[in-house]
Amino acid sequence: MVTARFASERGIALLATLLAIALMTIIVMDFTSYCELSYLSSANQANELRAGYLARSAVNIGVAVLAQDSRIKAQMREPIESLADVWAMPFPPIKAGGGTVNLSIVDAARKIDINELVDPRTGQVNNIVLARLTALFNFIGVSPGLLPAIIDWLDRDSVTSPGGAEADYYVQLMPPYAPRNGPMPTIGDLRLVRGMDDATFMKLRQFLTVMPEPRVNVNTAPPVVLASLLPQLAQNPRLVDEIVQARQVAPFTNVLQVLNLPGMGNMQQQLAQVLTTRSIYFTITAMGEFAGARKIIFASFRRNGNGTAALASWRED
């Protein structure tokens, strides 16, 4: 009887020991998994940090390129910006610090300033700019039906335009937010406008800017932007082709050369008011990659005459 009870107690002790070992094994495995995940998380954060520093380095390279170009322009009798400039050339990927750096530079004057659609002082729609944007949207396959929502985003009032949207629409979203009701500080604002999806935004950002460039650079603007400036150009693609072909042979050094092209006679006064051969604002798109991590920076600068650059906007993705 005593022997049986002793054997039973030994069995219970053995079972308890096995349970304890199993529990400790689970704890150790859980702790090991936690450590591994923490290590991977720390490694990923470190890689993202390195990618961020590489992207910032690319921005610095871009600023240096713009400064060097400015010094070259200072020696020219008629300084201009064109697609033949060093900043406009494609930059090959740069290997640095175990990662890769990519950058590109575009001038804002090749685009149409979306903020000019609404006069910030009066809140009134600029019908000339509205006509340009309508033409542009049609050229690139974007519905002009988005324009009322953009107008409502920019204007100061809370009156919803037909097809537009004001605060009562945006506050119902998840998460809710308020419309700008003023000029867009960055082109990223456009993504927040009612009806805008990623594909449409990525298409529009190639042709629209929020930098205050009052005129379009005839040497750098895409053909669809040039065609959108005046109804006569929109209706006569041959004239736009002549402008593009002429600047490929030699960039225009002044707007008068554009006005003297064949077929421009009846548009000279209008073209003189909307075209330029200079660009002041530039956007540097810088990307750093390290061990699978990626950081993209969109930095816009106002280039001064002495070659220095003032930061106008900065956005990271």
**pLDDT by residue (tens digit) across 1-40?**
555 555 555 566 566 666 666 656 655 555 555 555 455 4
Residue with tokens 């060097």: 68
pLDDT of residue 212: 96
Using the Cα atoms of residue 129, residue 133, residue 134 and residue 135 in order, give the sign of their dihedral. positive
pLDDT of residue 307: 84
pLDDT above 70 for 110:
yes
Confidence band for 97, pLDDT divided at 50, 70 and 90: confident
How distant, in Å, are the alpha carbons of 55, 157, 190, 243, 300 from that of 179? Answer: 31, 11, 11, 39, 23
First to last CA, the chain: 77
Q: Percent of the chain beyond pLDDT 70?
A: 86
Are the beta carbons of 153 and 123 closer than 8 angstroms? no
pLDDT digits (tens, 9 = 90+) for 211-270: 999 999 999 999 999 999 999 999 999 999 999 999 999 999 999 999 999 998 889 999
Provide the Cα torsion 138, 140, 144, 147; round to 10°. Answer: -140
How far apart are the C-alpha atoms of 108 and 221, rounded to whole Å?
Answer: 9
pLDDT above 60 for 134:
yes
What are the chain's domains?
Answer: 43-108+280-316 (3.30.1300.30), 122-206 (1.10.40.60)
Which CB contacts under 8 angstroms, 24+ apart, belong to 145-148?
145/195, 146/193, 146/195, 146/196, 146/200, 147/117
Q: Percent of the chain beyond pLDDT 90?
A: 75
**pTM listed for this prediction:** 0.85
Q: Are strands 281-290 and 293-303 parallel, antiparallel or unpaired?
A: antiparallel
Residues 6+ apart with CB under 8 A from 69: 85, 86, 87
pLDDT above 90 for 114:
yes
